């Protein structure tokens, strides 16, 4: 592993809550011959109370050509696309959800007062029935 990392077009495979989980995933992928890069390790380790806010956490990046193979290794049970548990639609987005404005307001207050609000996190949002939900799948 060396110069090939500079020629990669990377895509986020998953986001982990801590460096230990990300290192395990990285080791597993590299044992399978898939090079990967970890980002946000320092900020996640130094400011753990900001984890889960707006997609923060240690991100595992892989080459876009290796994404499908890496996803099948890390998420072996995820064969079918994610669907809404309320209406079974596959028109799903990973975002702040339906209460986006109130979450943005709390983020602004948190930034102005330098008080972390840890419960603001992204969720899956169904565009068809306008409902928010979470899954057990690490995203």
Say whether both 98 and 72 belong to one domain: no
Residue 43 lies in a domain: yes
Residue 72 lies in a domain: yes
> How many CB atoms neighbour CB 54 within 10 A?
13
What is the tally of structural domains in the chain?
A: 2
Residue scoring higher pLDDT (52 or 74): 74
Task: State pLDDT tens for residues 12-67.
Answer: 888 887 889 999 999 999 999 999 999 888 877 777 766 655 557 888 999 988 88
For residue 81, name the pLDDT band (cuts at 50, 70, 90): low
Residue 139 lies in a domain: no
Q: Are 73 and 28 in contact, with CB atoms under 8 Å apart?
A: yes
- Whole-angstrom distance, CA of residue 123 vs CA of residue 112: 24
Identify the domain containing residue 112 by its residue range: 80-133
Say whether both 119 and 59 belong to one domain: no
């Amino acid at each position: 592993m060396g110069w090939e990392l500079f020629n990669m077009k990377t895509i986020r495979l998953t986001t982990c809550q801590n460096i230990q989980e990300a290192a395990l995933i990285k080791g597993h992928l590299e044992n399978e011959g898939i090079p990967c890069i970890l980002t946000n390790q320092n900020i996640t380790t130094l400011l753990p109370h900001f984890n889960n806010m707006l997609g923060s956490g240690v991100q595992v990046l892989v080459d876009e050509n290796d994404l499908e193979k890496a996803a099948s290794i890390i998420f072996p049970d995820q064969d079918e696309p994610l669907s809404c548990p309320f209406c079974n639609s596959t028109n799903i987005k990973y975002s702040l959800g339906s209460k986006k404005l109130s979450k943005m307001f709390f983020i602004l207050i948190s930034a102005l007062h330098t008080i972390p609000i840890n419960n603001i996190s992204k969720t899956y949002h169904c565009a068809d029935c306008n409902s928010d939900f979470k899954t057990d799948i690490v995203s």
